[in-house]
Amino acid sequence: MSEINQSYFSISFGLVLLDKALPYDLYINSSTHASREKFVRIFKKENSLSSNDLETFRDKYYQLYVREDERDLYLRSLGVVEGAPDVEKAAVIKDSAISYLESIFESGHEFTNEVLEETIEGCRESVESMIDVIQDYSILDVQKLIADLSFHDFYTYDHSINVSMYSISILKALKPDAKRPELLMAGMGGLLHDLGKVKIPTRIINNPGKLSEEDFGIIKNHPDYGLELLNSHCCDHGEVNFDVIKRVVGEHHENFNGTGYPNKLKGKEISVLARITAIADFYDAITTKRSYHEVLPTADALEVMARSVGRKIDPKIFEVFRKNVNVVLEGKSHQELPDDFDPCQPKNVLPLQKAAPKVQRSDFLEKDKSDYGKVKKKVS
């Protein structure tokens, strides 16, 4: 098979699958000149690689490579690699997800349906692999994992990946018997929820200060922009119901009390996965350390979020979320975030303010009979 015009990516020796049929070929770069790379296959897929084989490779070669067109096979193998820390696996998956997001967010890159298709398929591969790593993680486990991962300069990338991981774990907490397609839709909804920001100027989406009324008005268009992009794309991804993911993209800024945007949907008019994404979105924004702002401890974050229950976020889902985090609310009981707080935006300082008196609502935990995989109301 000719390797001409193939591209390759480097992999860690510690993340190579051992003692099972290897689903990808292994290569080395036999050239010492960066401008004249020459990749040579040293191990053929479908054969079993032993630890002794790997040690021999480690002694002989500086770096191992896999063909780019077999990246999905490599990512999916990470879930069954034994002995490697999950943080190392997650870091590889995150880097891959970032590369896919960069392909559409990078300025100057021609945006086409083909690019969108490749990005969506790449995001699916990343989420599939992440599910294999974190499927048994609690929300706190995910938080600890995120804290150990390095962050990227572009807030949107890291935040979207974190929201994807939190959405998977929240759905598992809410519905322990959730099937893999449901977890995949939750993860993809979280990863793609800010897709519409490709049409928002970078100076706005990377602004960590308070946005002007005009700029905030522009930001509020991104759910519709994202929905338009997905509606213009022929989404055929097997068991994944893309109508559900479209609703996450279009509804993740709808508030539970009907004051959100873009369509002022209320309560259960908002899809369940969009309500889950909203909580994941909120929690990551105020608990994940960035280079430009301090964050809230878990107890304080939950207390601040509790102030938005019934207004911004779903009360039942938040209660399950809080119990899964397993922290008693003893934090900043006299502070809250304003209703226009946008977790999708980087912040120099969290805009905490004195809280209004709490209102007791006895109907918050009324049983939600929503079907997590069913489209109840399409956003046009």
* Helices 272-287 and 298-306, axial angle in degrees (round to 10): 130
The yes-or-no verdict on residue 2 having pLDDT over 50 is no
What is the biggest distance separating any 2 CA atoms in the chain, rounded to whole angstroms? 70
Architecture of domain 85-354: Orthogonal Bundle (1.10)
Q: What is the mean pLDDT of the chain?
A: 84
**pLDDT beyond 60 at 286:** yes
Q: What percent of the chain has pLDDT over 70?
A: 79
CA 373/CA 52 separation, integer angstroms = 46
pTM of the model: 0.84
Question: What is the structure's pLDDT at 255?
Answer: 95
17 has pLDDT over 70 = yes
Q: What is the pLDDT of residues 314-333, one digit of tens each?
A: 999 999 999 988 654 454 55
In whole angstroms, give the CA distance from residue 33 to residue 38: 9
In this predicted structure, what is the pLDDT of residue 290? Answer: 65
Residue 187 CB contacts under 8 Å (≥ 6 apart), including other chains: 127, 130, 131, 164, 165, 167, 168
For residues 246 and 252, give the distance between their C-alpha atoms in angstroms, rounded to a whole number: 10
Question: What local confidence, expressed as pLDDT, does residue 46 receive?
Answer: 96
CA 375 – CA 300 distance, rounded (Å): 35
In the chain, residues under CATH classification 1.10.3210.10 are 85-354
